[in-house]
């Protein structure tokens, strides 16, 4: 596994992450359209170590705090995974 922007990562080999058609960009975020609060690179996964509901199930664990923002995960059939939209970018769990 490689770090954000590393080989095979969303930014390509060694390049900075700029989003893509499937993950989006940070338009309208409080910090502007630049890098997220974690710095340059793809957004990291949330620190979630508990079991997830079944696909298409119901989320009953309340919001997840992600860099100071409370986000309620949903099932996304397009990505076939649990996660949330963070200023237009899909963040998987």
Pairing between strand 89-92 and 64-66? unpaired
- Structure confidence at residue 23 (pLDDT): 52
pLDDT given at position 11: 39
What does the pLDDT profile of the chain (93 residues) look like in tens digits? 334 433 333 433 445 555 555 555 676 778 776 677 887 777 888 888 889 999 999 999 999 999 888 999 999 999 899 999 888 788 899
CA distances to 3, 5, 53, 56, 71 from 59, rounded to whole Å, are 29, 31, 7, 9, 12
Alpha-carbon distance 87 to 27, whole Å? Answer: 7
The pLDDT score that the predictor gives to residue 15 is 52
pLDDT attached to residue 84: 93
- Sign of the C-alpha dihedral computed for residues 74, 30, 39 and 66 taken in this order: negative
Question: Whole-prediction pTM value?
Answer: 0.66
Nearest-10 Cα torsion for 25, 32, 74, 91: 60
């Amino acid at each position: 596994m490689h770090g954000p922007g590393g080989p095979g990562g969303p930014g390509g080999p060694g390049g900075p992450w700029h989003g893509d058609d499937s993950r989006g960009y940070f338009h309208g975020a409080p910090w502007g359209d630049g890098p997220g609060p974690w710095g340059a690179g793809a957004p990291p996964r949330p620190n979630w170590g508990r079991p997830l509901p079944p696909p298409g199930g119901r989320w009953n664990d309340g919001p997840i705090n992600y860099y100071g923002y409370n986000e309620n995960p949903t099932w996304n059939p397009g990505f076939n995974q649990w996660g949330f939209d963070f200023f237009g970018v899909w963040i998987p769990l």
